Amino acid sequence: MNINLYKTVILTLILVFNFSIVKSDSYQTSSPYWSTVKDGPTTQQQAIDMFFKGRDLDPIEGIYTVPDWGLVAITKHKDGYRQYVIDVIFSGLNGTHETTYFKTSNPNVFDFFERISWEDGSWYKFKTSEGKLTLKDGGKFAEVRFVESFADFADGDVLTKVWPKTLISTQSNALEKFMFSKDLSQEERNKKLDTLTWYNWDNPKNHITLLKKPNAEIYILENEYYLKGTKDINQYSWWVFGEEDIQSNLIIFSGDQTIYVRYKDEGYVTIDDWKSIKPENLISEMRQIQEAWKDQLKEEGRNYVEELNWIYKPTFDSEKNAVYVSYEGSWNGKKGKYKTMQTNSIVLGRNGYLDISFVSSITNETTKEELQQIANLAKDFTDGIDFLEGSKHADYKSGDKVAALGVGGLVAGTLGVKALAKVGFLAKITPFLIKFWWIILAPIVAIVGIFNKQKQTPRKRKRKEIDYD
């Protein structure tokens, strides 16, 4: 591994983000990730009343027991999740905020910063430890691993959820949690897939489907079929990838393309920082990160990136309030050399944005002209998306929630680079970026040929009088 380059990348991160890494011989009295203020619950019922009453919970949320520590509650807070101690062995800390968790690209995996405590007479000493939490068995358990050696359970520990007892929805409980394998025949696959609700499969036509939460319309072409709804998307994801997909609102299939549509209700995204975007700096950082990880990935037997190039440099459509970006990766590894392309669109609304991944199957023989044509399809798809009145980006009013990150920083974060990231977004992505940047560029698979459906070439999406689903 190129140690010097790796160190340079990490040190640059530290300086740019002003990220403070706690040394083993120093203690802290405060942190943006925890507090000693007693503003939280000190009983299980108080936690239920304060954090969970009257709303649907995310899989990570609930009350857990921690071995040799006590009872804690994890609850949603702004862009992440907070853990409060309810009743622990250091009773003076009951009711305080102990940990902050942040989402990663995997819905079952969270990065965190946690307060580590030692008794010190009448009070305690503190340090901040970072680590990773992984939800297991649909949220019944959470496996925790710390980074720092000074954390008591650096080798890992298991949190057990004690409330709610019904940890996931009835729909989720009904999921078949296995993957399609090479031993499963096409006929057997089709029988399983036929149990899902496939929109636009029978009697296909051009039409519009409505996404209720973002209040946005998606124009669907006759040759496209799709899944919509948590149960069917999660089941499909289990069969194909071996895990739930709790982020996608819509998955669209067409020929060699798979389109993932996700709504992020982060608030109104400003566009003022777009002028600061420098595409060559972005691609340069992406290349540096890949190079820094190459030797380690080789040692671990993973695939690694040898080359990255723009297909479409980040482009902002001021009329559509949308961003387009597409890049090509040349990979090497166990399966030999191959190429992938990743195309993303971000469409801004009043209360959040639609994050769209446009995944295409390509080969080593795919030409640059063909890559350009495929990337153009993503632009055409975005042209067929409209937020409805009251939810458009232009409908913003003073007092609306404003996202911590502008559109420029949002693009940089999507690409996994540090440029333009603001303090509000730093906490959300820093733990992930420091250790796992290479994952962002891992190839996403377009599921082709699951059905024996004839491939068709997508057409331009032109608005006209059209049916709704």
Per-residue pLDDT of the chain (469 residues; tens, 9 = 90+): 444 444 444 434 433 333 333 344 578 999 999 999 999 999 998 999 899 987 788 899 999 988 878 899 999 998 799 999 999 988 999 999 999 999 988 888 999 999 988 888 889 999 998 889 999 877 777 888 876 655 554 445 788 888 886 544 434 456 888 888 767 887 888 888 888 999 998 889 999 999 998 999 999 999 899 999 888 888 888 888 777 777 789 999 887 778 999 998 889 999 999 988 899 988 998 888 888 878 877 887 777 888 999 998 999 999 999 999 999 888 887 768 888 888 889 999 999 999 998 877 788 888 889 888 888 888 889 989 999 999 999 999 999 999 888 998 888 877 766 443 333 333 333 333 333 333 333 444 444 444 444 434 444 444 333 454 5
Residue 118 parent element (H or E): strand 109-120
CA distances 426 to 48, 124, 215, 282, 412, Å, are 30, 28, 29, 17, 12
CATH architecture, domain 31-168: Beta Barrel (2.40)
SS3 category, 427: helix
Delimit the domains of the chain by residue range: 31-168, 172-255, 262-440
Closest CA to 267 of 410, 389, 386, 383: 410
Q: What are phi and psi of 82, to 5 degrees?
A: -115, 145
Decide if 384 contacts 458 (C-beta within 8 A).
no
What are the residues whose beta carbons fall under 8 Å from the beta carbon of 121, sequence distance 6 or more?
none
The amino acid sitting at 413 is G
Decide if 413 contacts 79 (C-beta within 8 A).
no
Q: Looking at residue 205, what is its pLDDT?
A: 92
Q: Looking at residue 415, what is its pLDDT?
A: 76
**CA pair distance 443, 270, nearest whole angstrom:** 30
Beta-sheet strands, E only, within 212-336: 216-220, 225-228, 248-254, 257-264, 304-317, 322-332
Structure tokens at 205: 């036509």
Any idea what DSSP says for residue 137? G
Q: Looking at residue 456, what is its pLDDT?
A: 42
Burial of 403 (0-12, 13-18, 19+ CB in 10 A): buried
What are the residues whose beta carbons fall under 8 Å from the beta carbon of 21, sequence distance 6 or more?
14
Residue 74 parent element (H or E): strand 70-77
Closest CA to 320 of 355, 278, 279, 349: 349
**In angstroms, what is the C-alpha Rg of the chain?**
23
